[in-house]
Structure 1
Amino acid sequence: MTSNGPLSGIVVADFSRVLAGPYATMLLADLGAEVIKVEGPAGDDTRGWVPPTRDGVGTYYLSVNRNKRSIALDLKDPADLEVAHALSARADVFIQNFKPGGLARFGLDYDAVKTRNDTVIYCSISGFGSTGGAALPGYDLLVQGMSGLMSLTGDPDGTPFRAGISVFDVMTGMHSVIGILAALHHRDETGEGQHIETNLLSTALSSLVNQTSAYVAGGVVPNRMGNAHLSLFPYEPLRTGDGELIVVAGNNGQFRKLAEVLGHPEWADDPRFDTIGNRNDNRELLRPLLLEALAAKSAQDWFDVLTEAGLPCGPINTVQGGVELAERLGLAPVVEIGDVPTVRNPIRFSATPPTYRSAPPELDEHGDEIREWLGVTRA
């Protein structure tokens, strides 16, 4: 699969599975890297995570594995392990998400790979790092709970909720890509390879941004606020005459305009509401006033009126609605590769755009050609 992308010529040995690693390697593949997906004899677990399916394959697997070639290797088999070693010697990037230390017995840990490939960029992804948390299994749900995210998600008096996606797997994948690209740049300058480590818990604490900062810098332990924002009001869905609309006033100017459009310009000069801090302190006084005004029109009518006034607002769509919105906005969110629809890479380049060269591979679809390329034939 030739490519003219910015990472053309970079070979990635992908020993990861499920989500964080495969998402990272798909991003690299979209940008032109040659990604060789190494799977166990039974294949990536997500092939069988169903429903939903497309042509018998889990759509979970299809979501993060385009632009890759697949080879099935049993690392306990000496012949297959020889192939894995040969691949590690040829790769520019080696990425894996086994438990810390799990590949050492196969001679595929960083130190072993470095002996046969001293310029390799080796990326290890784990749940809780390679020190005190090395033995802990790295499932996204566990990290959502243990990091504090679930304590922030849900109604104030209700049960903590997980996010609707494996949010920290995805974010860890993105952080891994950032680390890999930085290491490749460093290697171009110095010729040095290096070991990169990312983990879901560190990603979670970084990605909770203002919420973790509230604790580490302000001594405040945030709690669940439903759809409300800790530091902004209004910044949440509000009831209208026929449903909810997300209404945002991110600064004093936006709130003044919102008050005018709702027919109450006096709110902007009311000392209870005239600053962000005052609106937060008095949100339980302001909320019923907003709800009373919004009850006069439907959500769609208010969307039209507020948007025309330049104010941020929006409906709460289904996933279908989100895709259809992106289509209406000209973002072309769906890319067909063969007969498999996939979601477009979100990065736009003026000169070296992402490419969509092949659908997610079948298990061991490219095993023979990869062995031939490595010069290691089947036993």
Structure 2
Amino acid sequence: MKVLEGINVLDFGRFIAGPFCSALLADYGADVIRIDRVGGGEDRFIVPVTEQGEGALFLQVNRNKRSMTLDLDSPEGREIVRKLVANADVVVANMPPRTLRSLGLDYESLRSIKPDIILVASSAFGNNEAVRDRVGFDGVGQALSGAVHIAGTPDQPQKAMVPVVDFATAFSCALGVMLALYERQRSGIGQEVSASLLCTGLNMASGALIEEALLGLDRHAMRNRASGYAPSDIFKARDGWFITQVIGRPMFQRWTQLVGRPDLLDDPRFADDTLRGENGELLSDVMTGWCADKTLAEALDALEQARIPASPVNSPRQVLQDETIKAAEVIRWMDYPGAPKKVPIFATPVSLSRTPPEIRFRPPLTGEHTDEILADIGVDAKAIVDLRARKII
């Protein structure tokens, strides 16, 4: 039996933070119904990769779900939502509070239908009145947190090109759901789970922010070097780039032996991690000289033998060909209608030994399961035909 078998989830989420939260719940056995707009929501078609236009990230964050289409602005659509909520345990909707209220998806409206309902409502900036209805995406969370300022160069800030804040917010929301479900077993009532891109970004940047608050160093961008230890940088071998990170005296000692510079171990400029970070450019220069005449494989093998963390800087193409990633068995290749090849769907990041997660079926087409979901709540075939004719579904 799956951990969340018997838990019913309604997913009104869009883009990443909401949909990936519900995908994680689905991986552990929850029955997740994605509520799509008639014709498909806008997040379905970003970076299209199939004949119908489904986007690359949409496929990853919507596996294991069923889809129904519904006009939420119509009275009939609102009534169907009420029936679905009456049978649900969790509602996921990453929208500003004002939007939730207008759609009848705010917590007060939902619990009037089902007192033990759990609402998962992540937003850009949180629930305080001054900021709660502002909109934002992943990059806004990154930039506000200070992370973009200390990346790149002093002349050109650089955000991460993958949506790290969105995905981390989704993980937080999934944890919140599990906590709320656990508490509901004792209290018998539900509650609202809140998260924000802003708070996620601040947590991720907290080391730099606490350092600034206490020491006032006003850090600036250092490209790929770390500020608090070294050598930590991206280096070029003869045939490719790799990253390595040396932290702590024992590892630094092994590194000095590896690069043939044991004299650096007792150099006062490199006496601890903080000093090594401050003088990291010098250590990066040593490392650059060491690997300049080596192949990528030679450099990585030597670092592995010295027990120093390192990896190639893979392109997306190289990721899909990487032998380490293949050996880890973390990709599920799935057929999808209209896709030119099998789609790589990436495994649930956390597993359980006895009740593991499972990617059971592909992401849904728009409204693929509308008829069966309506039948489940007692709508007969004739009524379904009528709803479709009037574009309610």
* TM-score, scaled to structure 1: 0.92
Work out which of the residue numbers 70, 73, 80 in structure 1 matches 2:77: 80
Question: How much has 1:242 moved relative to structure 2?
Answer: 5.0
- Does residue 334 (structure 1) correspond to residue 337 (structure 2)? The answer is no
What amino acid does structure 2 have at the position aligned with 1:359?
R
- Does residue 7 (structure 1) correspond to residue 4 (structure 2)? The answer is yes
Moved more, 272-281 or 178-187: 272-281
Change (3 A) 1:225 1:289: same
Question: How much has 1:284 moved relative to structure 2?
Answer: 3.5
Query: 2:354 aligns to what?
Result: 351
What amino acid does structure 2 have at the position aligned with 1:47?
R
For residues 165 and 241 of structure 1, the distance between their equivalents in structure 2, rounded to whole angstroms, comes to 27
Query: 2:391 aligns to what?
Result: none
What amino acid does structure 1 have at the position aligned with 2:285?
P
Question: How much has 1:338 moved relative to structure 2?
Answer: 4.0
Change (3 A) 1:352 1:79: same
Which structure 2 segments of 5+ residues have no match? 337-341, 388-393
Q: After superposition, what is the alpha-carbon deviation per residue over 1:117-140, rounded to whole angstroms, capped at 9, x for unaligned?
A: 111111111111222112311222
SS of corresponding position for 1:272: helix
Moved more, 142-151 or 88-97: 142-151
For residues 262 and 326 of structure 2, the distance between their equivalents in structure 1, rounded to whole angstroms, comes to 32
Work out which of the residue numbers 333, 358, 368 in structure 1 matches 2:371: 368
Answer whether contact 1:323 1:333 (CA < 8 A) is retained: no
Which structure 1 segments of 5+ residues have no match? none
Moved more, 270-279 or 177-186: 270-279
For residues 317 and 205 of structure 1, the distance between their equivalents in structure 2, rounded to whole angstroms, comes to 28
Query: 1:238 aligns to what?
Result: 235
What amino acid does structure 2 have at the position aligned with 1:358?
F
Question: How much has 1:15 moved relative to structure 2?
Answer: 1.0
Query: 2:125 aligns to what?
Result: 128
Work out which of the residue numbers 278, 285, 297 in structure 1 matches 2:294: 297
SS of corresponding position for 2:333: strand
Query: 1:97 aligns to what?
Result: 94
Query: 2:247 aligns to what?
Result: 250
SS of corresponding position for 1:103: helix
SS of corresponding position for 1:238: strand
Residues matched between the structures, number: 375
SS of corresponding position for 1:88: helix
For residues 73 and 60 of structure 1, the distance between their equivalents in structure 2, rounded to whole angstroms, comes to 22
Answer whether contact 1:338 1:358 (CA < 8 A) is retained: no
Q: After superposition, what is the alpha-carbon deviation per residue over 1:55-90, rounded to whole angstroms, capped at 9, x for unaligned?
A: 642222111111101111111111111111111121
Change (3 A) 1:283 1:328: closer
For residues 328 and 239 of structure 1, the distance between their equivalents in structure 2, rounded to whole angstroms, comes to 22
Answer whether contact 1:144 1:150 (CA < 8 A) is retained: yes
SS of corresponding position for 1:113: helix
Answer whether contact 1:119 1:191 (CA < 8 A) is retained: yes
Answer whether contact 2:20 2:61 (CA < 8 A) is retained: yes
Change (3 A) 1:118 1:281: same
Answer whether contact 2:319 2:325 (CA < 8 A) is retained: no
For residues 286 and 365 of structure 2, the distance between their equivalents in structure 1, rounded to whole angstroms, comes to 57
Identity level (%) = 32
Change (3 A) 1:186 1:260: same
Query: 2:115 aligns to what?
Result: 118
- Does residue 184 (structure 1) correspond to residue 181 (structure 2)? The answer is yes
* TM-score, scaled to structure 2: 0.89
Please provide the CA RMSD for this pair.
Answer: 2.0
Work out which of the residue numbers 144, 147, 152 in structure 2 matches 1:146: 144
Q: After superposition, what is the alpha-carbon deviation per residue over 1:187-224, rounded to whole angstroms, capped at 9, x for unaligned?
A: 11221211111111111101113122223444444321
Moved more, 15-24 or 295-304: 295-304
Moved more, 282-291 or 244-253: 282-291
